[in-house]
Structures are given as structure tokens and as C-alpha cells.
Amino acid sequence: MIDISAALNDAYKRTKYLLWERRSFGRWWRFGLLGMLTGGGGGGGGFNFRLPAQLLQASKKDTAMLGLMVATGAVGDFDTNMLPLIIGFGVGIFVFALFFAWLSNCAQFVLVESIVYDRHVLAEPFGRLKSNGTGLFLWTFLVGLACMIPAGAIVAGGVGIGVMAQDSPGTMVAVGLAALAVLAVLGLGICVLFALTTQFVVPVAYRQRIGINSAWSLVWQTLRQRKGDTCLFLLVLMGVAMAGAFGVMMGVMLFTGLAAVVSGIVLGMPAFFLYQQQMTVPAVVCGVLFALIVLGSLFFSSLVFQTPLTVLTRCFGMYIMQQLMPEFGLLPLGGITERASSEEEPILSPEPQPLGALADDSWQRPEF
């Protein structure tokens, strides 16, 4: 049986060491940026269906607008000469969404290395680990598409049966509930698949320098023998993620609300009185500054409060992985690592090797 309390304790100590004891705002900011790219606490926990859902979310408004333009153009109410520009804009948004999704998958490996090595540089690891991220991106995209096929079939089948049984309300309700139940089970399976990929498969792929499929085959050998421990880990991870998300939400609301009140007194009220005096330009300037302060406070507080949750959940997953598969140990037991020097940014070798958690681990710690 896995030791949940030990893993949480070590994860807390590692998070405290990385974010507080290092006393570096730049370190916190870069970890926060990685957390934002990987999906935050949900990303840290893996409970998000990033791809291709990200692409649909990013481009659905543009796709809808494009469809509207094409429809109106077909009946002559729209200048069809604008269609190439609109199509090009939609394609550009889709390409940007693809790039962001690829960057997010690269950030998964960079986050693992940053936690393992106590680093917070970004450019060099992204350049070195981009092939790993590309492999994860392609795997995630193909698996996401494969999962969407049965979901689409279930929705289409449910709609078709509902249309045929429209004269029988009871049948329509039963079909709808059955379709929702099947979709819920499918969605849960997808969440579990991506959670295990984020928490176990990505660290093993990084540790062994192998692809995602090869890493999954190694992880699966253990998971199928430790089904109870795997379920327990997923339940605890979900609980930690949900509790952390509630804390993050409360912190963001409190900080943003305080910023809104203060900036409202300093800028909002003057903007209102200036507008009443028909001084439009100063009123608009004050209003814009007020909006920028509120939005900036929302973004900053989200990043600050989300970062510990992201690091904690990822450390927790790696410590559980080390209990299940000690031969793939990455983090030092106890949460804190002894540094060979006091330099802020250690220089890693072109092929850095993980910090072994066991005394007999053949992987050696790189020279800093």
C-alpha cells in the first residue's frame, strides 16, 4: 500500500523549498508561467482534457463567425471579397492554438526538470526538450481525436434515436440519460488517462529518455498490478486539486476585490465625476487605468496563488511514482536536495540526468 501521508509531506517540503526557501520572485514567476502553460493545478493534477479541446475552445467563436459570414455571403448579404481574409484569420487562430498546445506539452517536460533540478530558466530547457514535447503533443492529439470519435457517435446516435422517438417523451428522456451516463463514463476515463500520463508517464519518459508509448508500456506494467493503489492516488489527487482550487479561488477573489475597491476609490470615482463634468478624455483615461489594474490584479493573483498548487500536485505525483516504481526515482526523499554550490542558475550538461532517490541508483547527479 502506498504511503499517501509520506508523499504529501515530501511534496509539501519540496514545494516549500522551491518556492519559499529559495527567496526568489523570478523563480516563483517562472514556475507560475510553466503552471499556466501546463494547465495550472488541474494541469498539475492532469484533470483536464487539453487537446483537441483547447483547439475547439480557442477557435469556436471564429469558426461560428466564419460560418455566419459564409451563410450570409451565400444569399448575397455580405461582400464575398472579404471571405479570403476571414478564412485566413480563422486559419491563423487555429494555427496559433496548435502552437500553444505544442508549447503546453513541451512545458510538461520543462516543469518536471525544473522541479527535479531546482531550476527556473526557461529558454534552454524548452530548446533541449522540444522533441519530447512534440512527441507528447502528437500522442495527445491522436488520443484526443480517437476519444472524440466514440463521443461523437454517442451524441449522433442519441440525437437520432430521440428524433425517431419524439412522440414518446419517456423514451427520449431514457435515451438522453443513457447517453449522458455513457459520456460521463467516457469523460472520466479520458481524465484518468491524461492524469496518469501527466503524473507518471511524462516523468518516466523524461527519466528514461524514451517516447510516450514506451513510457506507457513501462508504467502500465506496474499500474495493472497495483490497481488499488492507483485508484487511491487518483482519489487523493482529485481531492488535493479540488481543495487547492477552492483556496486559489478564494485568494484570487479576495486580492482582486481589494484591488478593485482601492483602484475604484482612486480612479473609478474620479472617472465618474469627470464624466459628469463632461471631461470625457480624463474620464476615459481613469476608466481604462481602473480596468487595467483590475485585470492585472486578476492575472497576477491567479498566477501567484496557482503556482504552489501546480508544484505541489506534480511533486506529489512524482513521489507516489517513486513508491510504485522506485527504479524510476526522480526526487530526493525528504523533499530537499543538497546543492553543490550556491549559484542561482546551475549549468546542466547537454543530457542532464535525474536526481536519484535511492542510494544504489546508477544515475549520477550532474556537476553544477
Sequence ranges of the domains in the chain: 4-328
Q: Which residues contact 354 (CB under 8 A, 6 or more apart)?
A: 116, 206, 207, 329, 330, 363
pLDDT of residue 250: 92
Amino acid letter for position 265: I
pLDDT in tens, the chain (368 residues): 888 988 999 999 988 888 888 777 778 888 888 888 887 554 443 333 344 444 444 444 555 555 555 555 544 555 566 777 778 888 888 888 888 889 999 999 999 988 888 877 788 888 888 888 999 999 988 888 887 887 777 777 766 776 676 666 677 777 777 778 878 888 888 888 888 999 999 999 998 888 899 999 999 988 888 889 989 999 999 999 899 889 889 999 999 889 888 888 887 777 777 777 777 777 787 778 888 888 988 888 888 888 899 999 999 998 998 888 888 777 766 656 544 333 444 434 444 444 433 333 433 333 32
Positive or negative torsion for Cα 221, 135, 38, 206: positive
Q: Please give the grid coordinates belonging to residue 251.
A: 485568494
pLDDT of residue 163: 65
205-236 per-residue burial string, b: 16 or more CB within 10 A, e: under 16: bbbeebbbeebbebbeebbeebeebbeebbeb
pLDDT of residue 54: 44
Q: Please give the grid coordinates belonging to residue 357.
A: 532517490
Alpha-carbon torsion, ordered 181, 182, 187, 189, to 10 deg: 120
Amino acid letter for position 177: L
CA–CA separation, 90 vs 294, rounded Å?
30
Q: Are 154 and 183 in contact (CB under 8 A)?
A: yes
Torsion angles phi and psi, residue 45, rounded to 5: -85, -10
CA–CA separation, 200 vs 197, rounded Å?
6
pLDDT of residue 72: 53
